[in-house]
Amino acid sequence: MLTVNEIFYSIQGESTYAGRPCVLVRLSACDLRCSWCDTPYAFYEGRKMSLDEVVKEAESYSCPLVEITGGEPLLQEEVYPLMDRLLASGRTVLLETGGHIDISRVPAAVVKIVDVKCPGSGESDRNHWENLERLQSHDQVKLVIRDRIDYEFARTTLSRYRLDRTCEAVLFSPVHVVLDPKILSEWVLQDRLPVRVQLQLHKYIWGPDARGV
């Protein structure tokens, strides 16, 4: 069984897939508490569903793109057969993970979007740094940036792990309504960083507090 917070069909909001129609499967529970977390409702709320039920509901939208997110999806053992089943059906599968759990068991065909937690999250000591050595060329790394301290941490991480050479994209995402995207963009341009400044598209389409869209 899986504990599922919600399954819905919407526009993918973060990553190089942003803007594409996508089925999102949000699994419940997380063992981090990022200061800016925008899905705290996923910490505890959820319904038990069998693997077959989750696959059936995800496939009911006839969408070739599925994202598994959370909460922290890698906390549930059955996420691995879920990824296998969705891949076997021919879908492109994205996995968003907080970056503190080993990603080495994730099927190679899954596009992993791996967070690196900056100091402003309050969880940077939980980063599982070995994950950054296991990235594949189609994977992406996301750093949510709250202030200049976070930006400098992100810049150092980019350079130390040469992330722009090892994965598809490095996403620098300002904390919504906390760090002005213009300021982050200016920093990136000044330093000529090979990253992608990313806004959370779904918040601009549906509103910052909308759920299930």
Binding site for ligand SF4 (CB under 6 A): 30, 32-34, 37, 39, 42, 70-72, 98
**Nearest alpha carbon to residue 168 among 131, 194, 129, 199:** 194
Nearer to ligand SF4, 37 or 68 (CB): 37
**Nearest alpha carbon to residue 203 among 169, 174, 168, 171:** 174
Please state the closest distance from residue 35 (CB atom) to ligand SF4, in A: 9
Please state the closest distance from residue 90 (CB atom) to ligand SF4, in A: 28
CA gap 85, 50 in Å, rounded: 13
Please state the closest distance from residue 93 (CB atom) to ligand SF4, in A: 19
Nearer to ligand SF4, 92 or 97 (CB): 97
Please state the closest distance from residue 75 (CB atom) to ligand SF4, in A: 10
CA gap 172, 181 in Å, rounded: 10
Q: Is 207 left (phi over 0), alpha (psi -120 to 50) or beta?
A: left
CA gap 210, 206 in Å, rounded: 6
**Nearest alpha carbon to residue 185 among 203, 176, 173:** 173
Nearer to ligand SF4, 144 or 193 (CB): 144
CA gap 56, 84 in Å, rounded: 14
Nearer to ligand SF4, 21 or 40 (CB): 40
Nearer to ligand SF4, 75 or 109 (CB): 75
Please state the closest distance from residue 5 (CB atom) to ligand SF4, in A: 10
